[in-house]
Structures are given as structure tokens and as C-alpha cells.
Structure 1
């Protein structure tokens, strides 16, 4: 059996998920990363995407996150999401609204830097929509 560690997914509203895990895949802003037991201490920002958790019992849980950051230590990982929901509970109309808002943000951008950031967020949401 693989070593396990504590994992918690927290949103501003509540603790969404807490379990002993063997593996967690996080959509980091620099690329996806897999967290396992005894991981080197790391703090990373996350982009909109899907977090996949493999529990110590062998179950796989998937959550959609809309940004935030992850704090990783050898004994565990805490993911603090700006917003998160279980994939099975995703509200397609909410995602569609977020996509529409992001498109409007790109169109309304006043500077190149603002436009680039808005476009990156739109790209993340588009990828997320395709993933779920």
C-alpha cells in the first residue's frame, strides 16, 4: 500500500473535503502537479481546473476549482480554493455564466496587461469546460 497523507479542500464557505489520500493532482498555474506523501514543502497558486484525489481506500474524487492556492508539506496538503464544487455537482449554467463574464472582461479590457490576464482566465475556463 502506498504511503498516505492528509488532504483538505477548503473554500471560503466551508470545508468541502477532508481525507487521507495517496495522491492528489492539482492544476497549478505552472502546470499540473501530483502531490504524494513526503512531498517537498511547496506553496503554489492554482488555476481553474479539476482536482483529482485518490483516497487511501482507493476511491477517486474529483472537484472543480476556480483558483486559489495549495500549501503542501511532507505530512499533507491543504488546498484553499477561491471557489470549488464536486464535479458531480457542477452547475453548467454557472460555468456558462463564468465563461460569458470572462469573454466580456476580455472585450472590455482597458490595457494589454488586463486583457492578457482576462484572456488567460478565459482560456482556463474553456479548458475546464472541455474537461468536465
Structure 2
């Protein structure tokens, strides 16, 4: 069996998760992508959502990201996102309220970069939180 991948999830201000993974599942702008040891090098643009990481002991970690990049090269997976948060730290109810509020602002015509970013982050949190519940 191939050596596990070294995985690192980095937000704009911190390393959110770092460790080994045997399977990484991430949603890209082109669709879902699964990464296993031995995967060919790739660079992909992430869509907002939850990145799943299966560790060598078969536990599963889920990280909410609001987009960003996924890079695979030489047994390493780097996930870089302006916003990243562990899904088990997210309250589903709060994330759903934030998404509804942000969507209401957008629907009311407040179409600014800040509001669109808020919708993406809240949407990512909801998706990721539901993956761990």
C-alpha cells in the first residue's frame, strides 16, 4: 500500500488542519475530486463546501472552505482558502441563519462583494456541518 498523503489545510491566517490522509474528497468548480496516494499532480480551483479527509486510522475530518485552491504534488495535498474552519466547530442552526440573512440581503439588491462572500462562506459552513452530523 502506498504511503499516506501529507495534507495541509491553510486559511488566510492559520493552518486549520495538518496530518496524513488516505483519501481526500473536495468539490472543485469542475465537480467532485477524489485524491488517493499516488495521485498525479494536479492544481484545481475549489468551490465552496466541505473538504473531507480520511485519515490512516479511518477517521474522517471535514473542513469548510469558501473556495480557494487544491494542489497535489509529490505525496502532498495543499488546500488553500481565504476561509477554512473545521466542520465540527460549526453550529448548523447558526450557519443556516447566517446563510438566510446573507441571501436575503442579496435578494434585496445588496449585491456587493462583501455580501456575495458572506453567502459563499455561510453556504460552505452549512454544507460542511451537514457532512459531520
Which range, TM-score by smaller chain?
Answer: 0.7 to 0.9
Sort the Cα spacing of 1:2 and 1:33 in 2 relative to 1 into closer, same or farther, 3 A.
Answer: same
Does residue 66 of structure 1 match 2:76? Answer: no
- Following superposition, the deviation at residue 24 of structure 1 comes to 0.5
Aligned partners of 1:129 and 1:15: how far apart in 2? Answer: 18
* C-alpha distance after superposition, 1:53-97 (max 9, x if no partner): 111222211111111111111411100122111111014425532
What is the CA deviation profile of residues 35-59 of structure 1, one whole-angstrom value per residue up to 9, with x for unaligned ones? 1112111111111111111112222
8 Å contact 2:26–2:34 — kept in the other structure?
yes
Structure 2 equivalent of residue 105 of structure 1: 106
- Provide the rounded CA distance (Å) in 2 between the counterparts of 1:96 and 1:45: 27
| Contiguous gaps of at least 5 residues in structure 2 | none
Asked if residue 30 in structure 1 is aligned to residue 22 in structure 2, the reply is no
In structure 1, the gaps of 5 or more residues are none
- Bigger relative CO (Cα 8 Å, ≥ 6 apart): 2
How many residue pairs get matched?
A: 123
Question: Who is 1:11 aligned against?
Answer: 11
- TM-score, normalised on structure 1? 0.75
Q: Once superposed, which parts of structure 1, at least 4 consecutive aligned residues long, lie more than 4 Å away?
A: none
Contact 1:2 1:22 in 2 (8 A): no
The alignment's C-alpha RMSD in Å is 2.8
TM-score where L is the length of structure 2: 0.75
Equivalent residue of 1:13, what SS?
Answer: coil
